[in-house]
Amino acid sequence: MVSTGLYAIVRHPMYFGAMIMILFTAVALGSLWALIPFAFMPFTIILRLLNEEKLLLKELAGYEEYCKKVRYRLIPYVW
């Protein structure tokens, strides 16, 4: 289990990075249509993240301690 770098701040930095990438791809394209996938992405990621954490707590030794150490799941200082 990695607990350095971004993983010391949030437990799922890849999901956070993916959301930022999709948002700024739409901005770079100058397309409001490209924002449609971004509108659904947070809900999908949150559902996946909650399911993943449930499994990790059950199956991965030490994950509960890691969750206590790293408080934020997705967005630093928010959630």
The one-character DSSP state at 19 is H
pLDDT bin (cut points 50, 70, 90) of residue 65 is very high
Per-residue pLDDT at 8 exceeds 80: yes
Least confident segment among 25-29, 34-38, 43-47, 54-58:
34-38
Mean pLDDT of 6-30: 88
Per-residue pLDDT at 5 exceeds 90: no
Per-residue pLDDT at 55 exceeds 90: yes
pTM: 0.72
Pair 16, 78: CB distance under 8 Å: no
For the chain, the farthest-separated pair of C-alpha atoms sits apart, in whole angstroms, at: 45
